[in-house]
Amino acid sequence: MELFQTADWKSEKHVPVIEIEKSDDLVDVKVVVGKEIPHPNTTEHHIKWIELLFLPDGAKFPVHIGRTEFNTHGESTQGPNTSTVYTEPTAVFRFKTEKPGKLIAVSFCNIHGLWKSEAEL
Ligand SMILES: [Fe+2]
Cα(115) to ligand 1 centroid in Å equals 10
For residue 64, indicate whether it is catalytic.
Answer: no
Q: What is the pLDDT, as a whole number, of residue 9?
A: 82
Q: Which domain holds residue 26?
A: 4-120
Q: What is the pLDDT, as a whole number, of residue 12?
A: 85
For residue 73, indicate whether it is catalytic.
Answer: no
For residue 45, indicate whether it is catalytic.
Answer: yes
CATH code (residue 103)? 2.60.40.730
For residue 13, indicate whether it is catalytic.
Answer: yes
Number of domains into which the chain is organized: 1
Cα(5) to ligand 1 centroid in Å equals 12
Task: Name residues whose C-beta falls within 8 Å of residue 99's C-beta, 6 or more positions apart in sequence.
Answer: 56, 57
Instruction: Spot the catalytic one: 10, 22, 45, 99.
Output: 45
For 75, other C-beta atoms within 10 Å of its C-beta total 17
How confident is the model over 67-77, as pLDDT tens digits?
999 999 999 99
